[in-house]
Amino acid sequence: TLFSRITGTGSHLPERRVTNDDLARELAQRGIETSDEWIVERTGIRARHFAAPDVTSSDLALPACRQALEAAGRRASEVDLIIVATSTPDMVFPSSAAILQNKLGIAGCPAFDVQAVCSGFVYALTVADAMIRTGGARCALVVGAEVFSRILDFNDRTTCVLFGDGAGAVVLEASDTPGILASDLHADGSHVGILCTPGHVSGGQVLGSPLLKMDGQAVFKLAVRVLEDAARATLAKAGKTDADIDWLIPHQANIRIMQGTAKKLKLPLDKLIVTVDEHGNTSAASIPLALDAAVRSGRVNKGDTVMLEGVGGGFTWGAVLLTL
Ligand code: ACO
């Protein structure tokens, strides 16, 4: 049987680091009050990175991909599939994946974006795994890349303090041994209204607001419930139990949601990989960013069993269980 396996990881953050205090000072100039204390206590976020206005998702993805390729010992010319998970693409079209392909100096292989907001990376990884297992590719770049700073409403303190920019990437290769063990994906479009960026291009202008809006409490309640279900379904498909999980790498949105999921899976909190404190919520980029940080720091190692899970706008949610 053919499997897929991650052979390299990489990530990239834009240079500008904005602490909660920096952000509070900027918001105060607009007459909006927030504080480091409020943000840390409710979310666990201490800082985030914001890209310069002319930097796009594919710009952030490029160095992340180069790092992942180097870690895998592969050249860009060996890549035969590119999937970019993003909700903040460079353009309406073509895809950020096609633009990234050109920046990597290659051409010919399939390249496309996956849009599942914060669940985007688990969706993209599942699609790449399926293509590799059915012989459609042998060396894929699977990327999460976002510039959420572009769609933040800096007059809305309930959302603008939560998000950041960044990119993470993995090289996923055909393998005789597993790799990706199982995955479980879902969507429920009846919840569009509680988390969305409704604006769209029409007649030469943007119709509707191009800025993110979220009902945080409604999202919170849904998130905690569905994440445990997705993780359990994934374990069941793989024939594994809670005790088999070495590391939990959740979508990094809110430390309370992340710790809640760890507790439900009976995992000690030192098995939970946390980067939300330094990255904020980078949507589809948060899981590959956290995975790369955990690998490079030496915490997560080859052979470890890792649960990835995420929930985001749509609603979409899902989980992937893998052996690194
Ligand atoms: N600074 C100071 N005060 C604030 C701020 C802020 N930045 N934002 C809100 N407040 C105030 C509110 O106005 C409210 O004041 P009030 O009691 O006088 O009305 C008070 O703080 C409490 O507000 P709540 O919304 O009840 O705060 P809550 O504890 O629910 O925390 C939060 C809000 C952090 C957004 C939380 O609901 C949450 O994390 N939800 C999940 C969001 C999430 O995970 N989203 C990501 C998943 S999908 C994706 O990533 C795209």
Q: Are residues 10 and 157 in the same domain?
A: yes
Distance, in Å, from the CA atom of 200 to the CA atom of 137, rounded to the nearest integer, reads: 33
Show the tokens assigned to 18. Answer: 């904005």
pLDDT tens-digit series, residues 7-32: 999 999 999 999 999 999 999 999 99
- pLDDT band of residue 234 (cuts 50, 70, 90) is very high
- 36 Cβ partners below 8 Å, 6+ apart? 19, 20, 21, 24, 46
Amino acid at 169: A
Q: Is 155 in the pocket of ligand 1 (CB under 6 A)?
A: no
Active site residues: 118, 251, 281
pLDDT tens-digit series, residues 179-220: 999 999 999 999 999 999 999 999 999 999 999 999 999 999
**What is the CA angle 112-310-34, rounded to 5?**
110
Residue 1 has pLDDT above 80, yes or no: no
What domain count does the chain have?
Answer: 2
Q: Are residues 10 and 51 in the same domain?
A: yes
Q: Are residues 191 and 169 in the same domain?
A: no
Q: Are residues 217 and 126 in the same domain?
A: no
Q: Are residues 134 and 220 in the same domain?
A: no
Q: Which of 138, 156, 175 is the last residue of a domain?
A: 175
Distance, in Å, from the CA atom of 12 to the CA atom of 285, rounded to the nearest integer, reads: 10
Residue 257 in 3-state DSSP?
helix
User: By residue range, what is the domain housing residue 314?
Assistant: 180-323
pLDDT tens-digit series, residues 116-169: 999 999 999 999 999 999 999 999 999 999 999 999 999 999 999 999 999 999
Q: Are residues 94 and 232 in the same domain?
A: no
Q: Which of 138, 158, 175 is the last residue of a domain?
A: 175
Mean pLDDT score of the chain: 97
pLDDT of residue 224: 85
Residue 74 has pLDDT above 80, yes or no: yes
| Residue 292 near residue 80, CB atoms below 8 Å | no
Q: Is 175 in the pocket of ligand 1 (CB under 6 A)?
A: no
pLDDT tens-digit series, residues 47-59: 999 999 999 999 9
Q: Is 3 in the pocket of ligand 1 (CB under 6 A)?
A: no
Query: How many A from CA of 39 to the centre of ligand 1?
Result: 9
Residue 242 has pLDDT above 80, yes or no: yes
Q: Are residues 283 and 194 in the same domain?
A: yes
Q: What CATH number corresponds to the domain at position 314? A: 3.40.47.10
- What single string gives the DSSP state of each residue in 182-244? EEEEEE-GGGGGGEE---EEETTEEES--S-EE-HHHHHHHHHHHHHHHHHHHHHHHT--GGG
pLDDT of residue 66: 98
- pLDDT band of residue 225 (cuts 50, 70, 90) is confident
Q: Are residues 138 and 211 in the same domain?
A: no
Q: Are residues 134 and 190 in the same domain?
A: no
Q: Are residues 21 and 166 in the same domain?
A: yes
Distance, in Å, from the CA atom of 241 to the CA atom of 197, rounded to the nearest integer, reads: 37
Q: Which of 127, 148, 175 is the last residue of a domain?
A: 175
Q: Are residues 221 and 103 in the same domain?
A: no
Q: Are residues 235 and 317 in the same domain?
A: yes
